[in-house]
Structure 1
C-alpha cells in the first residue's frame, strides 16, 4: 500500500460488482462508489475532481466525457483481464495509465470452455434433464452422439486462453487449428481466414479479445459455415457473436449447438433463451474462481501501490 502519503488518495470503484474490494482499499485510500451518485454531474462537480485512480471491471464501459472531467485521474486499474470497456488510446493520449490482470485466469476460463464443450457435445445437460423428468426408460433413450476423439477444434484468438484451450482439447486427441488477425509463432496451423476455420471445424471456440473492430466477428456467415453439426463455444465476450443470427441459426437447425458463458446483454434475459434449442448457458462465470479472483485482486492492489509510489506498474495494458 502507499507509504508516507500525507493523506489518503481518492479512489473510485466504478461498479457495484466491485463492492467486495472496498474493505481492502479503505486502509490506504479514500474510497468513492460511482453507484452512490445517480447524478454523475454532481459527482464530477464534487468528489470526482479529486479522484486519482479508478478500480474498474474492464468489460463495463467508461465514458470518455466523464473521464475528461476528472482532472487528477491518472490510473484505471481493471480487476479483470479484459479492458474492452476502456478506450485505451484515448487514455494514453490523456496521460491516463490502464492496467489489467493479464493471464491470471486463463486456465480457469479454458477449463470452463472445455466443460461447456463436453456438456453440449455429449448432451450432459439434456441427459440430466431427462433423468430428472422421468424420461429415462428402456423405450425412450437419448440418441447416441459422436465422441470427441479426432474431431476438429477451431480456436478464435490464440492468446493465453486460446493456448490453454488448445492444450486441453489436444489431451482429448482432438485436432486443433486457429485463426486471429495477426500471425504468431506456433506449431499449430493457422487457417487462412475465420470463415475457413469455421468451415473446417466441428467445434469453434471463441477466445479473442474484443476491440472496436471485431464486434460480431462471429457473423451469420461464420455460423452457417460451422454448420448444422457444429458447436459454437464462447468464453470471450458476447459482443463478438451476432447473437440474433446465432439464435436464428439454432432455431432453424443451420447451427447444431451453442455453449455460451457470455452474452451481448448481461445479465442475459431468460425470455430471450427460453425456447432456443441445443444450448448450454452459464452466467459469465468462466474466469471467476476462488483461485483466480484473489490473484486478480492482489494484482490490482499492487498496480495501485506502484502508481501511488511512483514505481513502474505491475501489469500495464500493452506492457
Structure 2
C-alpha cells in the first residue's frame, strides 16, 4: 500500500513565505506512530491558525519509504540541499543501524553545518549521534535503546526524558513523545492556548514536558506501591556493571537482609538476587541485539566477571546462549 505524498504537500501552497518547512525524513522501517503524531499536530495547528506550518516527506532516493508496519509512503524529495529555515525531522524505527547509511550521515552533517535545525524521532537519535551531531549535547532515545546508546556514544549526555531540546537539536523517546515535542514547539510559535487546542483535538489530556520521564514509575511498572521496594529496585537498575549485594541494598533502606527477602517474596514472588539477575540479563540482551560489543564486553558491562558464568546464567534465563542470540538476531536483520 502506498500513501500519496500529495496529501502532505497541500499546506505549503497557502503558507506564508516566512514559515520554514518541516522536512520529515523517513528512514526504512520508521515507526509510524511517532511520525503520524508529529505531523498530525502540525496539521491541526494549521486548522487553528491557517498557514502556520508546511511540510514535505523526504528520504533516500526520493521515491518511497516503508514503515515498520509495512505501509509504504510516497516521498516528495530526495536528500537534497534545504533552505536555511527548514527543520529536519528524522524518523527512525526498527533496525535503525541498518537504515543509517553513509549518504544520510553525510547529508545530515552538511545541513547541520549550514545551520539547519534537526530533530530525531524515536530511534533516530542513534543516527544523529552517529553523525556526531549530538556530541556534548543532552539527548534522549527510546528506553529499550538506552543501554546500547550509552555504551556507544559516551560524548552524549543521555537522559530519560520524553523529549529534549538542546540548542538546534531535538530528540524524542518515540511513541507519543513526538506529540509532546510538537506541542512544545507550537506553544512557542503560536502560544499555549493554541497548543492546548491542538492537544484537545488529539484527545491528548496530559501534555508532558522535557522534565517528564519516558517510562512508567517503578511502583506502576511492578504494580506495587511500597517505597522501600521501589527504592531497592531503583538502586538495582542504576548499578548494573557493579551489582550491589542484597545485604547492602537492605542496609540502604533500613532493613535486614531477611526482611528484604520477605518483601521481594511477598510482592514479586522471587528473591532479590533473582530479580536483580533478570534486570542485568535484560540489559545484556539489549546490548547483544543492538550493538557490536563482544560477548565478553557485554558480560563485563552487566556485572559478570566470567564469560562462562554469564553464558550459563543467560541460557538458564533465555534458553539460548549469548552467542546464539547474537547470531539469530543478525540473521533476522540481514534477511529483512
- Assess same fold via TM > 0.5: no
**Structure 1 length-normalised TM:** 0.37
Q: Could you say which structure has the greater relative contact order, defined with CA pairs below 8 angstroms and 6 or more residues apart?
A: 1
**Structure 2 length-normalised TM:** 0.36
Q: Which is richer in helix?
A: 2
